[in-house]
Structure 1
Amino acid sequence: MTSTPFDVDAFLARPLVARVATNGPTVRPVWYLWEDHTFWILTGPWTKLFVRVRADPRLALIVDECDLATGVVRQVIARGRGELLPFDVPRGRRKLARYLGADENRWDGRFRRYLYDDPASRGTTWLRVSAESMIVEDFSYSV
């Protein structure tokens, strides 16, 4: 990646919500994990996202923030192809802990199930998105 107006890895490491757009078009908010310049999104056959990506893997994803109190306005837009891969628990734990905290006992039971139920029987899957293109913008202003 070329020079960017802010630290993209640090920005994407925060527990922000991404919005994923698929052919249809449809847009949905998702929690994600950013590792090794790749987005990881938990999905499965119970979701429209899984069905749409299986039919057409092209997608776009945006992660942004807008803080009116500080004037910080930043965005990362990624475009690429999604790939459905088997779920692995260690990555799942890292993803969920960034949004829910490290203490799994405090998590709602539906999130713990992803880690303790058999992913194959549930159909739990990773959607891996390696960006073919990425636009990084800083529209911040002084308050």
Structure 2
Amino acid sequence: MTEREFDVDAFLAQPLTARVATNGPTVRPTWFLWEDEAFWVLTGPWAKLLGRVQADPAIALVVDVCDVGTGSVRQVIARGQAEVLPFDVARGRRKLSRYLGTDEDEWDARFRRYVRDDPAVSGAAWVRLRPASLTAKDLSYSV
């Protein structure tokens, strides 16, 4: 099977689900934002991800698609040391609008709070992964 080049930034701009693996091992699905050559994942005290990254920042993340109807098979795999950073509302709005649309009034209340409430109150934070390694493969086939 021959790999083809593809636009990784355009692929990661889609509202896809990533799976994040931490030491444990634990794997969890998550929404993400690919921005400034880094993956940004919203987390906080309600999720185990925050504590796991604080205890051991080595993580891996995969974003992939496999559409048997079209033959589209693409994957991006990233690894590195994650950082926990303060939550900024503007980035949160960019991330959430990718998945939920631009009308915040239509969002479920649990998502609206991240862009309307003080992050210090919600405890929201970012896990940022600037990949030490990033592998992108297009393994698509003809149907």
TM-score (norm 1): 0.96
Post-superposition offset of 1:70: 0.5
Post-superposition offset of 1:36: 1.4
Aligned residue number for residue 113 of structure 2: 113
Aligned residue number for residue 70 of structure 1: 70
Runs of 4+ with deviation above 3 angstroms: none
**CA deviations over 1:88-109 (Å, ceiling 9, x no partner):** 0000000000000011111001
Q: For 1:13 and 1:116, locate their aligned partners in 2 and report how far apart those are by CA, in whole Å.
A: 24
In structure 1, the gaps of 5 or more residues are none
Post-superposition offset of 1:117: 1.3
Post-superposition offset of 1:138: 1.1
Superposition RMSD in Å? 0.8
Aligned residue number for residue 20 of structure 1: 20
Aligned residue number for residue 88 of structure 1: 88
Q: Secondary structure at the match of 2:130?
A: strand
- Listed as ranges, the matches of 1:96-111 within 5 Å are 96-111=96-111
In structure 2, the gaps of 5 or more residues are none
Identical-residue share of aligned pairs (%): 68
Q: How many residues align?
A: 140
Q: Which amino acid counterpart does residue 13 of structure 1 have in structure 2?
A: A
